[in-house]
Structure 1
Amino acid sequence: MACSLQQFVDSTKDQGTQQGAAFEVEKQCFLQVNLGAPSSTGAVLNQVWIKTGSMVAYQGDVKFEREGMMDHGFSNMLKKQFTGEGATLTKASTKSRAQLYLADSGKRVTVLYLQGESLVVNGDDLLAFEPTVTHKITMMKKLSSIVSGGLYNVQLQGHGFVAILTHGQPLTLVVAPGYPPVYTDPQATVAWSGTLVPDFKSDVGLKTLLGRGSGETFQMKFDGSRGQGFVVVQPYEEFPIPTSSS
């Protein structure tokens, strides 16, 4: 059904205000970052870390600066060289007030508030976070994890807002002592508690049954005997699995 231009504008316009919270979700798929507004800690938010390439629009005077190779030490430099551009973040900053709009591939945006906890997020599913949250790149330890997708993750810790991305509504599974381990498809795994250390399992029989490499061939294992927390999955496999002869 057709609508007038005014009806279209009214139904799709930004619902936020310049006096809004630091992070606001718009239309489920956009994150509005209000630079110059009070941050989660009460201080003025003059800068924010964002996923490189996620800016779709902004109002005001915003400066963008890509994270340097040596910004977080020699170890992170090597990890960035290995993982490529996907591991690079961009710092957006202003000296006044500005509204920054972020989005990525139509994914759903969820804003979380860390209160000193640690969260590990798949590098491709991290949209933005406040500078009061520290971050470092963590590599998956086993070769099977590299084959099964996602060369890197980002570990976040501190106090502040974090925005993550999912295809559709995310599902959270609890990992705790006394409960069976949780197995997830690496391509559908978005984030997990920093208290958990995932292991990896290869199911060669299932690969033979399916006749091709798939997310079900390699699984991430979260065992409650090694920690307590949660794992977040999405109803979508992020990347295809390369066929392996091994």
Structure 2
Amino acid sequence: MSDAAVPRRFTLDSFVEATVERELREGLFELESERILDINLDGEVWIKTGAMIAYTGAVKFVREKLLDQGIGNLLKKAVTGDGARLTKATGQGSVFCADIGKKITILQLQGESIFVNGNDLLAFETSLQYDIKMMKKVGAMLAGGLFNVRLEGHGLVAVTSHYDPLTLPVVPGQPITTDPNATVMWSGTLSPSLKTDLQLKTFLGRGSGESVQMQFEGDGFVVVQPFEEVILQAGTAS
């Protein structure tokens, strides 16, 4: 086939034009696509360890030390593994982040607090206070290593989900129950409890797969995704 017969949309120039980085100038966080976050770095920001796919400029990456957030988080990090590990990006440039092709949502916290599933937290400003929280029941670990990160203050946060997330309002007297592996985020006003139905058939592979659920009661919201994401625990091979 001659070059003249090739439709322009198939040419290399057309591909580059369609996929080249866009200068949106929307602030610190902007979306290059639904699945690629562009951080216009001029200072420092926290990102999920392993989320950086490319960067430009003078940027240094320093992985968070186990004791950076105190003795309490040392044990939490040892149990949760890499899912809640953070890296601080410092300098000036553009840092591109992604997480296995998941959809990215950018949120601006204005004094509110939220809880994010540790596996769904992609990046956030250092102006936000954060703490790793774990569900107290041992049964939670059977849900794939259930833990979450509490964020509070003023700043941007990028959260990921498989496909489009769904937000469910939680009102007093009308509890909502979710699959932990499909739960992405919930408002800081809620403290979910765990419901367990651990029967022998569950361990024999004959259960419904929903042996552990999270129940939300009160006034707030919970966000779920149309995908059950199994989170690897520390010491589990990927």
* TM-score bracket for this pair, using the shorter chain length: 0.7 to 0.9
C-alpha contact 1:20 1:34 (8 A) present in aligned 2: no
Query: Paired residues, what number?
Result: 225
CA distance in 1, matches of 2:208, 2:44: 40
Quote the offset at 1:202 in angstroms.
2.3
Distance 2:85 2:50 in 1: 10
Judge conservation of contact 2:192–2:217 (CA < 8 Å) in 1: yes
Counterpart in 1 of 2:141? 146
Query: Going by fraction, where is strand more abundant, 1 or 2?
Result: 2
Residue matched to 1:126: 121
For residue 166 of structure 1, the aligned residue among 149, 158, 161 is 161
Deviations 1:117-141 (A, max 9, x none): 1111111100000011011110111
Task: State the 1:87 CA deviation.
Answer: 2.1
> 2:41: which partner in 1?
35
Match of 2:196 in 1: 202
Task: Please give the per-residue CA displacement for 1:102-157, whole angstroms capped at 9, x wherever unaligned.
Answer: 00100000000111111111111000000110111101111111111233211100
Secondary structure of the structure 2 residue equivalent to 1:7: helix
Displacement of 1:86 in angstroms is 2.2
Q: 1:214 to 1:121 in 2, by over 3 A?
A: farther
Partner of 2:82: 85
SS in 1 for 2:89: strand
Structure 1 residue aligned with 2:178: 184
Residues 58-95 of structure 1 deviation map (CA, whole Å, 9 limit, x = unaligned) = 0101000000111111111121122222221000010x
Question: Partner amino acid for 1:187?
Answer: N
Runs of 4+ deviating beyond 3 Å: 210-215
Match of 2:226 in 1: 235
Give the 3 Å change call, closer, same or farther, for CA 239–8 of structure 1 in structure 2: same
Residues in 1 aligned to 2:182 and 2:23: alpha-carbon distance in whole angstroms: 31
When the two chains are superposed, the root-mean-square deviation of aligned CA atoms in Å is 2.3
Q: Is the 8 A contact 1:21 1:34 kept in 2?
A: yes
CA distance in 2, matches of 1:62, 1:140: 35
With normalisation by structure 2, the TM-score equals 0.88
Q: Distance in 1 between matches of 2:61 and 2:97?
A: 13
Return the match for 1:64 from 51, 56, 61. 61
Alignment correspondent of 1:25? 31
Residues 187 and 215, structure 1, Cα contact 8 Å, conserved in 2 = no
Instruction: Quote how far apart the aligned CAs of 1:239 are.
Output: 1.1
% of aligned pairs identical? 54
Residue identity matched to 1:88: R
* Structure 1: gaps (5+ residues): 37-45, 242-246
**Is the alpha carbon distance of 1:215 and 1:222 closer, same or farther for their aligned partners in structure 2, counting shifts above 3 Å?**
farther
- Residues 10, 88 of structure 1: alpha-carbon distance in 2 compared, 3 angstrom cutoff: same
In 2: Cα distance, 1:103 partner to 1:215 partner: 29
Match of 1:8 in 2: 15
**SS of match in other structure, 1:163:** strand
- Structure 2: any 5+ residue segments left out of the alignment? 1-6, 233-238
CA distance in 2, matches of 1:158, 1:149: 29
Determine if contact 2:80/2:145 at 8 Å carries over to the other structure.
no
Q: Which moved more, 1:138-147 or 1:212-221?
A: 212-221
CA positional deviation for 1:216 = 2.1
| 2:215 paired with 1:221 | yes
